[in-house]
Structure 1
Amino acid sequence: MNAHLAAVMQILIALAFVSIPIVRARFGPAATIAADRELDRQGIRPGVLAENDIKFDASGHETWAPVSVAAVMITIAALNFAGSGWGQTLTWIFQSLVIVMNGLILLSNLTAVSSVRTAFERKGDPELTRIDVPAFLEAAKNAFPGWVRIQQNIRHAIVFGGSVLALAAVTLV
């Protein structure tokens, strides 16, 4: 029965991770438009984001990374539902990794301004280094509905709490 609890938590974690590209796909284009408008307000040349492949949508790693995590969680959940010993072993490995990865996501969100400044500097485009990064990020963030911030907090709670519960459940098997 404890393995079933772990499996349920893993399914919830998978859904939490899949929510990332869904939200980005739905509202990311509007965030890109808002960011472009902010850059225009700052006197930054049009198209600098596109030229440097900077977007807020669900392309690239914004989709494949969370979908991959979700696929792994669903696979381990199936093993746990089936009562396979592999479920317990893989839960220990991957739930620990998920906690670390989600911690890095949270850290990235909290240090976004400095991270984006550093990324812009690395791109080597002098136009990017002139950007008022806090205003740029705020414009993009405001293009997402207010409930997205609540959803992010819920997602973090599900991922952290669900991972801890899944680890506890397979430990008590």
Structure 2
Amino acid sequence: MDAVAALQLLIAVAFLSIPVVRSRYGARAQASVEAELGRQGVRSTVMAENGMRLDAGGHETWAPVGIAAALVLPALLSIAGSSWSGTVSWVVQPLVILVNCVILYSNLTAVPSVTAAFARSGDAELQRIDVRSMLAAAEKGFPRWVMPYLQNLRHVVVFAGSISVLAVLAAG
């Protein structure tokens, strides 16, 4: 297997870690959030009523799985010796970098963006939530190694791996 394919498969695994961790620990994180909401005097069901969840449902599964599949395609083409692998990689890798920039931005701006979303919702119950405390409770619901360690490792693998893929393609 060539270096580009190996890197693409490694990046795919990094994205798959998101739904795997959420599937395994999301219910615990959700329970932690619900307890925090109760402490704040907010009904614990308000998140579920508004379609917000911490498990591997919805976009927390289809987005990373879709990205992983998009990375596996050029890796398999490369392993098969197809001349299309480079072309597909030149399209996929910049998109992966862009998507990961959006994810990183979302992680870094979670408190203000969730606060703003709650304010726009028109739901008085959501607007009363201390978002910083709620997100801290969610984070505590996951094992200590998830945030920030796994989260940061995933970003390093995605960014460094993608840049390395593009550098190898450019040099080739």
User: TM class by shorter-chain length?
Assistant: over 0.9
Q: How far apart in 1 are the matches of 2:55 and 2:159?
A: 25
Deviation, structure 1 residue 84: 1.9
Q: CA deviation at 1:152?
A: 1.1
Equivalent residue, structure 1, for 2:101: 103
Residue 83 (structure 1) aligns with:
81
Q: Could you tell me how far 1:43 is from its partner in structure 2?
A: 0.6
Q: Which runs of 5+ in 1 are unaligned?
A: none
Cα deviation, residue 157, structure 1: 0.7
Q: CA deviation at 1:50?
A: 1.4
Letter in 2 for 1:167: L
| 81-90 vs 9-18, which moves further | 81-90
Which residue matches 1:126? 124
SS class of match (1:141): helix
Deviations 1:133-169 (A, max 9, x none): 0001001101111111211111111100110111111
Equivalenced residues, count: 171
Are the structure 2 counterparts of residues 46 and 157 from structure 1 closer, same or farther at C-alpha, using a change threshold of 3 Å? closer
- The two structures have a TM-score, normalised by structure 2, of 0.96
Name the CA distance, whole Å, in 1 between partners of 2:13 and 2:92. Answer: 16
Q: What is the Cα deviation at residue 54 of structure 1? A: 1.2
What are the Cα deviations for residues 52-72 of structure 1, in whole angstroms up to 9, with x where unaligned? 111111100000000011111
Q: Deviation per CA, 1:55-102, whole angstroms, max 9, x where unpaired?
A: 111100000000011111111101112232211111111100000100
Consecutive unaligned residues in structure 2, runs of 5 or more? none
Equivalent residue number for residue 9 of structure 1? 7
Work out whether residues 52 and 123 of structure 1, in 8 Å CA contact, stay in contact via their aligned partners in 2.
Answer: no
**Residue type of the partner of 2:6?**
V
Matches within 5 A, 1:157-168: 157-168=156-167
1:45 is paired with a residue whose SS is coil
Large movers: runs of 4+ above 4 Å: none
8 Å CA contact 1:10–1:162 kept in 2: the answer is yes
TM-score if structure 1 supplies the norm length? 0.95
Greater Cα offset, 149-158 or 127-136? 149-158
2:135 aligned partner: 137
The 1-side partners of 2:164 and 2:63 are apart by 23
For 2:71, the equivalent position in structure 1 comes to 73
CA distance in 2, matches of 1:104, 1:169: 24
**Residue identity matched to 1:92:** W
Greater RCO structure (CA 8 Å; 6+ sep): 1
CA–CA separation in structure 1 for the residues paired with 2:61 and 2:150:
17
SS at match of 1:93: helix
Please provide the CA RMSD for this pair: 1.1
